[in-house]
Amino acid sequence: MDIGVLLPTGTAQWGAGDDPRDLVAFGRHAERAGFASLFVNDSLISPRIEALTMLAALAPVTETATLGTAALLPFLRRPVQAAQSLASIDLLSGGRVTVAVGAGFPGRFGRPLYALSELPWQRRFARLDETVALWRALWEGADAFHGEILRFDGIPPMTRPARPAGPPVWLGGASPAALARTGRMYDGWLPYPPAAAEYASGLREVRRAATEAGRAAEDVTPALFVSVRIEDDVETGRTALDAYARATYGMPLSELEQIQAVVTGTADQVLERLGRYVAAGARHLVVRLGALGLRSQRDQLERVADLIPALRPARAVPQPGKAP
């Protein structure tokens, strides 16, 4: 069971006088506080520190935490260049990178970005899958790639990642097609369903698709992206999360919680709600702290860190005369 945190790399999450250079110290502190992973998100919708730049800054100053994207939008980058960047960060971190990817969403969160990237909106999922297949081929030393959309010949030797097969690649999304694609070809699943029951049913479909593709169910890491705010009571938490949702998405909490996992309340209430997702099968929680300003983010980080021991299942105690 791993508990990670999403770093507040977007300017919408900063307060007056916040220094973005403090994000590096924030990541180092999160690692020392017990978080197993540090994730960053990726978009052109609002100003933010570019995702791979942030991971590169964290790589040499952290030691054990997984460095991840939640989620990287590959269509914003040249695919060969992205493979090189990810391999480089994996090397600099000693093999600690995990890449969750997505194809973008309709409306202002997707189609305009494809136009800026000079790519067609049509067949975006096929393009995403081919991009990941290209990355994996390049990481293993291929000098050519022939897909339906992406075709390259004469690729020069590229930087090889720390791990022979390269970083694990997860898929974000919970549509029936995304569940099937996750099971067939991805190393992990990072959705954000509003209800634990939705998570459980989605995970069953992912595992079914993995089995049908000749893979083992455990080949796919079941992760969860969830927004969290710990307060003295639910209403205070909801008020803070509403401000966060409006600043980040331009929508009230009542709309955001219809499409994303959002948990608030006292520490015990948050622990109980997160426990439902753990019971549904989640094994890597990526927690987004619902706070505005780095000081408030740091406060929430400490509160969530206090829950980490309770979220991790207790290890079995070895019996005398038996191997642990």
Cβ neighbour number for residue 144 with a 10 Å cutoff: 10
Closest by CA position to 256, among listed 225, 220, 301, 281: 225
DSSP state of 314: P
Residue range 134-173, pLDDT digits in tens: 999 999 999 999 999 999 999 999 999 999 999 999 999 9
Closest by CA position to 172, among listed 154, 146, 196, 193: 193
Tell me, what's the pLDDT at 321?
Answer: 36
Residues 187 and 219: their CA atoms lie apart, in Å, by 6
Written as tens digits, the pLDDT of the chain (324 aa) is 999 999 999 999 999 999 999 999 999 999 999 999 999 999 877 899 999 999 999 999 999 999 999 999 999 999 999 999 999 999 999 999 999 999 987 666 677 888 889 899 899 999 999 999 999 999 999 999 999 999 999 999 999 999 999 999 999 999 999 999 999 999 999 999 999 999 999 999 999 999 999 999 999 999 999 999 999 999 999 999 999 999 999 999 999 999 999 999 999 999 999 999 999 999 999 999 999 999 999 999 999 999 999 998 643 333 333 333
Residues 230 and 202: their CA atoms lie apart, in Å, by 27
Residues 318 and 307: their CA atoms lie apart, in Å, by 25
Whether 322 maps to a domain, the answer reads: no
Residues sharing a CB contact under 8 Å with residue 303, sequence separation 6 or more, in sequence order: 230, 267
Residue range 91-114, pLDDT digits in tens: 999 999 999 999 987 666 677 888
Tell me, what's the pLDDT at 46?
Answer: 80
Residues 156 and 83: beta-carbon distance below 8 Å: no
Helical spans, DSSP H, in 148-252? 176-185, 196-212, 234-249
Whether 175 maps to a domain, the answer reads: yes
Q: How far is CA 217 from CA 76, 183, 186, 212, in A?
A: 31, 8, 11, 10
Whether 156 maps to a domain, the answer reads: yes
Tell me, what's the pLDDT at 323?
Answer: 36
Closest by CA position to 282, among listed 320, 309, 311, 258: 311
Whether 82 maps to a domain, the answer reads: yes
Whether 323 maps to a domain, the answer reads: no
Residues 127 and 150: beta-carbon distance below 8 Å: yes
**Domain CATH number, residue 217:** 3.20.20.30
Whether 229 maps to a domain, the answer reads: yes
Instruction: State the amino acid at position 236 in one-letter form.
Output: T
Whether 74 maps to a domain, the answer reads: yes
Tell me, what's the pLDDT at 313?
Answer: 67
Report the number of distinct structural domains present in the chain: 1
Residues 141 and 156: their CA atoms lie apart, in Å, by 9
Tell me, what's the pLDDT at 319?
Answer: 35
Tell me, what's the pLDDT at 51?
Answer: 97
Find the domain containing 59 and state its range: 2-311
In a 3-state reduction of DSSP, which class is residue 284? strand
Residues 261 and 268: their CA atoms lie apart, in Å, by 17
Whether 319 maps to a domain, the answer reads: no
Q: N- to C-terminal Cα distance for the chain?
A: 18
